[in-house]
Amino acid sequence: MNKGSKKNIFVASVVAFSVCAIFYGFQSKDYNFLKNKNFEIFHSLYNELDMLYVDTIDPDKSIKNAIDGMLMQLDPYTVYYTEDDNEELEMMTKGTYGGIGSVIVKNGDYIAISEPYKGNPAYNVGLKAGDLILSIDNEDLKGKSVSYVSDKLRGEAGSKFKIVVQRPGTEKKLDFEIERKSIQLPIVPYYGIVADSVGYIQISTFSGEPYPLVRDAFMELKSKGINSLIIDLRGNGGGLLDQAVKIANLFIQKDREIVSMKGKTSYSCQSYKTTVNPVDTLIPVAVMVDGQSASASEILAGAFQDLDRGVIVGECTFGKGLVQNIRPLPYEASLKLTVAKYYTPSGRCIQALDYSHRNADGSVTRVPDSLTTEYRTAAGRIVRDGGGIKPDVEIEPEKFSNNLLFYLVTENKIFNYATDYCLKHDSIPSPEEFTISDADYEEFKKIVTSSDFKYDRQSEKFLKSLREVAEFEGYTESAKSEFEALEKKLSHNLEHDLEHFKKDIVNYINIEIVKRYYYQEGGIIQQLKNDKELDRTVEVLKNKDEYKRLLTAVADDKEK
């Protein structure tokens, strides 16, 4: 560790220590004295370092490290943002950023356009998936990282830059001039009818303004005659609390509490209720969640569950019961800090990690089941606090066990095959109907097997480890024949593995190809065709007896 690093850690440690001290129940005058005392110590310490330390101190870096060290003792959601971080903060709160509206990936020596969002600058000027970005404003980008190129593509809305790309199948390099726009990340990337009269709305974030988009999507689906609705919050990490309340109000009666907050100040102690007459209080609703559904997603799911307005399906949610506000600081800096805990209508807080009681090593543990408390839904069903929203219908998460598919994706074998496929096909059927043929897959297999494609086989690794343990314990000779037989069965056979995992690989190829023609919406449609969790959710909604039973308290619970 160099001296500069030691210096920064020392400064951070001093501030962290001084701030931690003030959180232990002192009398008011003792608290104020200690706060002022430690501020004075820190100020003097920094001046001593600045005047006498052998190397020059960078004030921005040192103070930033000190602040970060202090905030690390609190929770991961309390974060300091400098003036340079304002774009990141805006993307977090509004779901917008200045850029071209495209996903990019590493592909060989260059970065490639992976998925241009329809209607955004990349799409409008004609950039396509597979285009290799050779340069931006005459800077050669060979060997640059994804994050480096991403920073080059982003910038102030209205600013322009020149980009040169190499398009597969085209010898001549293509030049484009692009004007950056304020890019709104897709909030409702897809809605439609996924089964007989079953509506579906996917909400990817609660940043920005998802409420009007969800409202309009629902009204359109109602006009098409849906008799039940799925709200998909899987992977939705949250956003703005008020947007979750407004969306809940589409389905829940006026003047019902959706969420409450409790903090130190009167501003952070509030109750949020539905304020207008709902659109539909009768249509059966299922809310899909997973381990990445957090914050505002859990507020919405918790309201549906506690008020018995809908069935929750999927995996237990993330368990984030903390509320953050943005506070302005001098010189256009900002502080995002945790100001309260939130509580669902039954009165429970679903926060899973207790940051106020850390282990001796500084780590944080989940609230154990033995310390959780029972609460009641409006109908008397038992729900518990701590650890997120537990679904009414739990679905075991599907493990990603296809090691071969992982390497086909990371090595861009599927991405490049999709690019070549598009060069040969001007159009394809709709996402609902499209799939590559067996002949197409045979062609893909030949491309992979004839290349220098290598992938890591876990079974061979474990066999090697087992041999080493057997040798150490003296079993090598006695188990020799068994090891040889097992080694033969587990021998690397790419042809066999490509056929064995054909279904998963074909599904991924289909998604990648469909996105080239029908963009993000088409990719989602293709993905939902093989979504087992969605199929189970549709079953729940179609089975009226099961739906009613799931929302009704059992006799034993009523007696309690």
Which CATH number do you get for residue 173? 2.30.42.10
Average the pLDDT over 545-560 and give the result: 80
480 is an active site residue? no
Q: Is 260 part of a structural domain of the chain?
A: yes
Q: Say yes or no: 194 and 303 in one domain.
A: yes
Closest C-alpha among 210, 136, 232, 217 to residue 178: 136
67-81, 86-100, 330-344: lowest mean pLDDT where?
Answer: 86-100
- Given 347, 365, 394, the domain boundary residue is 394
H-only helix segments in 435-493: 438-450, 458-473, 480-489
Interatomic CA distance for residues 201 and 231, integer angstroms: 5
Q: Say yes or no: 169 and 300 in one domain.
A: no
Q: Say yes or no: 324 and 357 in one domain.
A: yes
Q: Is 53 part of a structural domain of the chain?
A: yes
Q: Say yes or no: 169 and 216 in one domain.
A: no
Interacting residues of 121 by C-beta distance below 8 A, sequence separation 6+: 99, 100, 101, 178, 179, 180, 181
Cβ atoms within 10 Å of 386's Cβ, excluding its own: 20
Among residues 204, 228, 260, 295, the one annotated as catalytic is: 295
Confidence class of residue 360 from pLDDT cuts 50, 70 and 90?
confident
Q: Is 471 part of a structural domain of the chain?
A: yes
Interatomic CA distance for residues 401 and 328, integer angstroms: 46
For residue 217, give its domain range.
Answer: 190-394
Average the pLDDT over 279-292 and give the result: 97
Interatomic CA distance for residues 465 and 230, integer angstroms: 47
Q: At what angle do helices 210-223 and 241-248 cross, to 10 degrees?
A: 20
Q: Say yes or no: 52 and 137 in one domain.
A: no
Q: Is 88 part of a structural domain of the chain?
A: no
The alpha carbon dihedral of 250, 256, 259, 263 has a sign of positive
For residue 118, CA distances in Å to 188, 231, 283, 416, 525 come to 14, 23, 32, 21, 16
Q: Is 432 part of a structural domain of the chain?
A: yes
Q: Say yes or no: 16 and 141 in one domain.
A: no
Q: Say yes or no: 248 and 375 in one domain.
A: yes
Token reading at 191: 């809605």
Among residues 131, 232, 290, 306, the one annotated as catalytic is: 306
Residue 490 has pLDDT above 90, yes or no: no
Q: Report yes or no: 258 and 241 within 8 Å, Cβ to Cβ.
A: no
Interacting residues of 326 by C-beta distance below 8 A, sequence separation 6+: 89, 93, 334, 335, 336
Average the pLDDT over 506-535 and give the result: 96
Among residues 144, 181, 320, 336, the one annotated as catalytic is: 320
For residue 142, CA distances in Å to 77, 122, 134, 147, 171 come to 36, 20, 7, 13, 18
Interatomic CA distance for residues 266 and 275, integer angstroms: 21
Hey, is 44 helix, strand or coil?
helix
- Given 338, 359, 394, the domain boundary residue is 394
Q: Say yes or no: 279 and 350 in one domain.
A: yes
Interatomic CA distance for residues 303 and 65, integer angstroms: 40
What's residue 559's pLDDT?
55
Closest C-alpha among 91, 92, 115 to residue 103: 115
91-100, 190-199, 332-341: lowest mean pLDDT where?
Answer: 91-100
- pTM for the complete prediction? 0.85
Q: Report yes or no: 217 and 188 within 8 Å, Cβ to Cβ.
A: yes
- What share of the chain in percent tops pLDDT 90? 74
Q: What is the CATH number of the domain that holds 326?
A: 3.90.226.10
Interatomic CA distance for residues 248 and 337, integer angstroms: 26
Instruction: Give, in degrees to the nearest 5, the angle at Cα 275 between 271 and 278.
Output: 125
Average the pLDDT over 312-338 and give the result: 95
Q: Is 462 part of a structural domain of the chain?
A: yes
Confidence class of residue 93 from pLDDT cuts 50, 70 and 90?
confident
Interatomic CA distance for residues 519 and 512, integer angstroms: 9
325-339, 421-435, 451-465: lowest mean pLDDT where?
Answer: 451-465
Q: Which residues pair with 181 in a beta bridge?
A: 99
Q: Say yes or no: 307 and 433 in one domain.
A: no
Question: pLDDT tens for residues 114-161?
Answer: 999 999 999 999 999 999 999 999 999 999 999 999 999 999 899 999
Q: Say yes or no: 56 and 179 in one domain.
A: no
295 is an active site residue? yes
Question: pLDDT tens for residues 431-479?
Answer: 999 999 999 999 999 999 999 887 776 666 666 777 777 777 777 777 7
Q: Say yes or no: 222 and 369 in one domain.
A: yes
The mean pLDDT of the chain is 89
50 is an active site residue? no
Confidence class of residue 371 from pLDDT cuts 50, 70 and 90?
confident
Q: Is 386 part of a structural domain of the chain?
A: yes
Interatomic CA distance for residues 193 and 218, integer angstroms: 11
Q: Is 548 part of a structural domain of the chain?
A: no
Q: Which residues pair with 104 in a beta bridge?
A: 113
The count of domains in the chain is 4
Q: Which amino acid is at 196?
A: D
Interacting residues of 301 by C-beta distance below 8 A, sequence separation 6+: 233, 287, 289, 293, 312, 317, 389
Q: Say yes or no: 161 and 255 in one domain.
A: no
Residue 14 has pLDDT above 70, yes or no: no
